[in-house]
Copies of this chain bind each other. A is one copy, B any other.
Amino acid sequence: MLIVQKFGGSSVANAERVYNVAKRVAETYKKGNDVIVVLSAQGDTTDDLIAKAKEISKNPSKREMDMLLSTGEQQSVALMAMALTELGYPCVSLNAYQVGMMTTSAYGNARLKKIKPDRIRRELDRKNIVLVTGFQGMNRFDDITTLGRGGSDTTAVAIAAALHADQCEIYTDVEGVYTADPRIVKEARKLNEITYNEMLELASLGARVLHNRSVELAKKYNVEMVVRSSLTQAEGTVVKEVCKVERMLISGVAGDDEIARVSLIGIEDTPGKAFDIFATLAKKNINVDIILQSIGRDNTKDISFTVQDTALEEVKAVIEENKERWNLKKADYNENLAKVSVVGAGMVANAGVASKMFEAMYDSHINIHMISTSEIKISVLIDKKEMHKAMNAIHDKFNIID
């Protein structure tokens, strides 16, 4: 079997942990598998490098930031190679250039375009364990790019897809995907399997086990992902296209309390206005989540939307800049909000899910500010301080079992 294994920064934070991972990798290799390992930068390396950059410039060039940050993963793979060599296993470390990890040019948030798998194949043929830098790529100018949040997961899936790996294992500090965050919902249980679509909804809803770009890519190329712990031998959660037919309604509850809501009040009700607003935000790479539009008074309308709270300052700047052009009466901001969502492929065929969720909120006296639904999920926006209560109430109400 060809197996891709991805380990995050905390799994390789120091020499001892590097050896733990090396032994884990060696076990897989000893069973006769071809193994490709994707690594993130060690522990706080990336944060330390960002701090160094911020000492020099408040707003450093994104190209140079990628040049700087990409060194972290390169250090990880080199150190891991030393550990595996010390344990007696043949191996080689490769960076983005060496594996031909081609991306778009959007520094800091590049998208993978293509992998030239020749070098990896050659090293596998030589029976080497191949260690690859996660999170980074090269654009068509031969410049270094990084993939943004969750980039190493994406690297792992992309390599698994390009080399037709049998499995892509994402190692993390939890044993798999849970029906809810176990730190918040005590009754949360580990799922044995979950579909790509459910995982996508959970990932984008604040269950931070997998980043959704990696799941999207896995779905597109039908790469079977396994989320499992680097600390235990537990089986983990398999993420794949179709799960067993007998399923409960809901596979999980997710909460995200890093949400900010923006309300634009009194926008002129002419065609193209909303498009203009969201196109302007998109150009600044600001991701808008829930959007709600209501008719206001005097031939105007109100538009509310949510963004990650880290993006709020930038949103405010954009709005300030375009206030006059948009004929905006008022803009209102609220950072004290959380989004709680239920996800489940079974939801499509069942009308009662939404009402059951609202009932859980009502029972717990939780006020709902906004509602958003898709085929397999329902999200509500509530006050941040009530997020934990809401997640527990929903988990109880649906009595989620795998």
Contact = CB atoms under 8 A, between A and B. Distances in A.
Contact of A57 (B55, B57, B86): B86
Contacts of A15: 52, 55-56
A104 interface: no
A57 B78 contact: no
Interface in A1-33: 15, 18-19
A290 to B, nearest CB: 36
Nearest to A97: B97
A297 to B, nearest CB: 48
Nearest to A58: B86
Contact of A93 (B64, B81, B82): B64
Interface in A54-80: 55-57, 60-61, 63-65, 67-68, 70-72, 74-75, 77-79
A117 to B, nearest CB: 14
A57 B82 contact: yes
B75 A68 contact: yes
Contacts of A81: 61, 64, 67
Question: Could you tell me the dominant secondary structure of chain A's interface residues?
Answer: helix
A61 B83 CA distance: 10
Contacts of A49: 75
Contact of A68 (B52, B70, B78, B144): B78
Interface string A340-377: 00000000000000000000000000000000000000
Given A98-B143, A142-B98, A56 B68 contact: no
Interface of A: 15, 18-19, 49, 52-53, 55-57, 60-61, 63-65, 67-68, 70-72, 74-75, 77-79, 81-83, 85-86, 92-93, 95, 97-98, 119, 142-144
16 contacts: A18-B56, A19-B56, A49-B75, A52-B79, A56-B82, A57-B83, A64-B79, A65-B82, A67-B77, A67-B78, A68-B74, A68-B79, A68-B82, A71-B72, A95-B144, A97-B97
Given A53-B78, A67-B77, 15 more contacts: A15-B56, A18-B56, A52-B75, A53-B79, A56-B79, A57-B83, A57-B86, A61-B81, A64-B82, A67-B74, A67-B93, A68-B78, A71-B72, A95-B144, A97-B97
